[in-house]
Amino acid sequence: MVKLGFSAVLHQPWRIRKFNFLEIGQGKNYFDEELNKSLFKRISRKSYLPTLKIMTELAEDHKDFRINLSFTGSFLDQAERYRPKVLTALKELNKTGALEIAAETYYHSLAFLVSAGEFDAQVKLHLKKMKELFNVRPVIFRNTESFYNNDVAKAAERLGFKGIITEGSEKFLGWRSPGHPYRADGTKLMLLLRNYRMSDDIGFRFSAPMWEEYPLTADKYASWMSAVSDPYVMIYIDFETFGEHHWPETGIMEFLRHLPSEMSKYSNVSWVKLSELLKLKPVDSLDIPWFVSWADVDRDLSAWLGNRMQQSAFNSHKSLEADVKKTADPELLETWRKLGTSDHFYYMSTKFAGDEEVHNYFRCEVYSSPYEAFSNYMNILQDFKLAVKNKLARVK
């Protein structure tokens, strides 16, 4: 019996606008309202709305269908601001009972590397939002971009979670399969591992004509799933896989639409909510002292902190925490948190091997180069630093 935990994440960063060095200190706004709005609307039209509609219909037509989603707070805030229909559609899906929601950091941030206080604050903000919008208290936690080590598991346990998600990477699995239940070392938490091969079949390879399995159809995928001998398979992909990364013309929407009926032909496959996997008995515990993530071929933090620009920008941002909090100004705090979203650092990556295409895919809408991404970010941070300084001076 294979339990299929089919999951996707919904996230949008608050992209910053082009900010000239000469504008530092002029108190101008940082976020590109027009760009954020137009991208959100486009992605809603191409991906969020049609996909959520299909998922809701599937939940209504197949009573065994289950779907797992996680959202970032910045995604939900943008939905509220630019396309409230998306929230309505999410609530509709939630009403079917087929949806389970996992927790994330509110701002899709590297807050775990900033401070324990900030990490806890962002997770709690997220839990509060889930309660408000969907009346749920997630028991599974997924850190930003699945970045993880033993200490992240401990922090998640402190915050009351029962399970935690990360990448099923050979780096720590070795010969072992990601489809067995493991305990996170030193905790009672269940470690849920993403099957990246079967996830990437949909997320990356689906529309690649060079792939030997192209075109991937729902019946083919269902047959692969039924052939799995592990207790579970967790698929985790970007939600925009449906309709945005792969356009509707590729057949991705039909693939999704037909997946449940194709799966139902195999009696040994069942859809599950991720929390159902917590009942499995762990075969072992996994000790992961160093950071892993789901990004790039490196599967570590180098996509965000791989070069000196990224490290310097991250540290400059981090160093403002105490002062920002001292101002007790909610607006400054929110701005600082939006600037801590990992995407800003991702745009600054200069990695070349293999992944540059993915980086460029996500960057091209905003910056022509990592150097612009960095300098633009730093200009804004300089301006923000002045704003914080001024506020503190006034408080005193």
Per CB under 8 A, the segment of 96-104, 197-205, 214-222, 311-319 that binds other proteins is 311-319
Contact call for residue 139 and other proteins (CB under 8 A): no
Residue placing its CB nearer to other proteins in the complex, 257 or 351? 351
Give least dist CB 374 to other proteins, A: 6
Q: What angle do CA 296, 126, 238 make, to 5 degrees?
A: 30
Expressed in percent and rounded to 5, the helix, strand and coil fractions of the chain are 50, 15, 35
Query: Is 307 a binder of other proteins (CB under 8 A)?
Result: yes
Q: How far is the CB of 350 from other proteins (least distance, A)?
A: 6
Tell me which residue has tokens 């079967």.
198
Q: Which of 42, 368, 389, 395 binds other proteins (CB under 8 A)?
A: 368
Chosen residue from 85, 188, 265, 308 binding other proteins by CB under 8 A: 308
Half-sphere exposure of 122 (CA within 13 A, CB side): 30
The verdict on 22 binding other proteins (CB under 8 A) reads: yes
| 168-176 own/partner pairs: CB under 8 Å, 24+ apart | 168/193, 168/194, 168/195, 168/196, 168/234, 169/196, 169/292, 169/299, 171/292, 171/299, 172/286, 172/287, 172/288, 172/292, 173/286
Q: Which of 211, 371, 390, 395 binds other proteins (CB under 8 A)?
A: 371
The CB density around residue 341, as the number of other CB atoms within 10 Å, is 25
| Stretch 313-342: interaction string toward other proteins, x if CB under 8 A | x-----------------------------
Is 145 annotated in the active site?
A: yes
Joined tokens for residue 72: 């970032």
Nearest in space to 71 (alpha carbons), one of 131, 21, 24, 11: 11
Q: Which of 292, 282, 283, 281 is nearest to 153 (CA)?
A: 292
Q: Contacting other proteins (CB under 8 A), which of 200, 333, 350, 358?
A: 350
88 near other proteins (CB under 8 A)? no
Residue 379 as a binder of other proteins (CB under 8 A): the answer is: yes
Judged by CB under 8 A, which of 90, 113, 165, 378 binds other proteins? 378
CA torsion sign for 43, 83, 109, 375 is positive
**Binders of other proteins: how many residues, by CB under 8 A?**
19
Closest distance to other proteins from the beta carbon of 22 (Å): 6
Query: H or E stretch including 286?
Result: strand 284-286
* Residue that has been written with the tokens 């749920």 in this structure: 136
| Nearest CA among 51, 100, 89, 118 for reference residue 252 | 51
We find the least distance from the C-beta atom of residue 312 to other proteins, in angstroms, to be 4
Choose between 22 and 353: whose C-beta lies nearer to other proteins: 22
State which residue, 143 or 376, has the beta carbon closest to other proteins.
376
Query: Measured from the CB of residue 357, what is the shortest distance to other proteins in angstroms?
Result: 13
Q: Among 100, 104, 118, 145, which one carries the catalytic annotation?
A: 145
Helix, coil or strand: residue 184? strand
Under the rule (CB under 8 A), what is the footprint of other proteins?
A: 20-22, 307-309, 311-313, 350, 368-372, 374-375, 378-379
Which residues belong to the active site?
145
